[in-house]
Structure 1
Amino acid sequence: MQIRRCACVVKGGRRFSFAALVVTGDSKGNVGFGYGKGGEVPVAVEKATKVANRRQKPVHLQTSAQGTTIPHRVEGRFGASKVLLIPASPGTGVIAGAVVKAVVESAGVSDILTKSRGSNNPVNMVKATMNALAKLRTRDDIARLRGVEV
């Protein structure tokens, strides 16, 4: 969760508003994000959480007895932000920046390597990470699309 404070100057003085970026997930392959604004921090967080829960989407993960990672290397883009997600061997952990780490951990990924390029705007980074996770396909999905049996 990330909270930002903005000030607007009006006749009576400064008026503050707060913006919250929230990522939610069940650690079993579903993840979503939300952005909310309000006059107080709890209001902004509540709005963002509602939106995040509504926007949850499934992610294809490679689950095995040794650990959980993604099935293949993938790049996600949004605006000027680019995020590269690379599968890692069991025991590696989540090697990522704060924003990307929040998204992949909420999805249930425990072993992954990441690299971010371009803009590091938190909202765009979350959207780029979600874009990358949406591009993931399992071996069974690819085989079905090609009409081949594995």
Structure 2
Amino acid sequence: MADEQEIIAVDTEAAEPVTLAAAEAVPAPEAAPQRGSRSRGGRDQRGGRRQSTRAPRAKSEFDQKMITIRRVARTVAGGRRFSFSVALIIGNKKGRVGVGLGKAGDTTLAIDKAVRDAKKHMITVNLTKDNSIAHDVSAKYTASRVVLMPASGRGLVAGSSVRPVLELAGITNTVAKIHSGSKNGLNNARAAIEALKMLKA
């Protein structure tokens, strides 16, 4: 009878008979999503907001102060190339201080290079109990000449870029004088560093 006959469907690839009941049991493929029908809650399905794997930057033990930041140009065959030059001072206000210079096409990179340069040339200063210096000292760097003198109870008396050098070194009760006509802040700061190197314990 027609009701009892088993309808056979042939799989052309496998060449094996498959019953209609087995064919109906195979789940139908999911319909492809239509263009423009964007399901809501996609972020929840993908795990929500992307978590940042970058570790937070640890706070540096050194404070820093900028001396100069300049945009400089270099003439090449194709025109002029601009970059940034940064000079800064770093110190922990406990006797360690350094001056660095960095150049790069971006200010952030230039600052990072200047910090690395300052750490490379960092010195340790011998301080007295009242955070002053033990004796008079003077030093020269190019055209800049700096004189440092202890002055108990007067605080820090200094100008130009010599003051931040002494502040970041943790020096107080000191008088600093610049005996030159140089207005180059970087050279004055380096002259102050040379003077601090000459201090004796």
For Structure 1 versus Structure 2, the TM-score category normalised by the shorter chain is 0.7 to 0.9
More strand by share: 1
Q: Is the 8 A contact 2:160 2:185 kept in 1?
A: no
Tell me the equivalent position of 1:26.
Answer: 92
Task: Report how far residue 136 of structure 1 moved.
Answer: 0.7
Deviation of 1:7 (Å): 2.6
Alignment match, 1:16: 82
- What letter corresponds to residue 105 of structure 1 in structure 2? E
Aligned match for 1:73, one of 132, 136, 142: 136
How many aligned positions are there? 134
- Cα displacement (A) at 1:69: 1.0
The Cα of 1:9 is off from its aligned counterpart by 4.6
Contact 2:72–2:82 (CA<8 Å) still a contact in 1? yes
Higher RCO (C-alpha 8 Å, min separation 6): 1
TM-score, normalised to structure 1's length?
0.81
CA distance in 2, matches of 1:44, 1:98: 22
One-letter amino acid matched to 1:107: A
Tell me how far 1:62 sits from its aligned partner. 1.0
Per-residue CA deviation, residues 66-118 of structure 1 (Å, 9 max, x unaligned), is xx21111110111111001111122x222212310111111110221111022
Map of 1:1-150 to 2, 5 A cutoff? 1=66, 2-9=68-75, 14-64=80-130, 68-90=131-153, 92-118=154-180, 119-138=182-201
TM-score (norm 2): 0.62
In structure 1, give the amino acid aligned to 2:163. Answer: K
Unaligned stretches of 5+ in structure 1?
139-150
Quote the offset at 1:14 in angstroms: 4.3
Letter in 1 for 2:97: V
The code of the aligned residue for 2:142 comes to: G
Q: Counting helix residues as a fraction of each chain, which structure ranks higher?
A: 1
Give the 3-state SS of the residue equivalent to 1:98 in structure 2. Answer: coil
Quote how far apart the aligned CAs of 1:13 are. Answer: 5.4
Task: Give the number of the structure whose alpha-carbon radius of gyration is greater.
Answer: 2
Quote the Cα distance in structure 2 between the aligned partners of 1:97 and 1:15.
Answer: 34
2:115 maps to a residue whose letter is T
Q: What value does the CA root-mean-square deviation take over the aligned residues?
A: 1.6
SS in 1 for 2:161: helix
Identity %: 40
Stretches of structure 2 that go unaligned for 5 or more consecutive residues are 1-65
User: Which amino acid in structure 2 is aligned with residue 116 of structure 1?
Assistant: I
Deviations 1:26-73, CA, capped at 9 Å, x for gaps: 111111111000111111111000111222111111123xxx211111
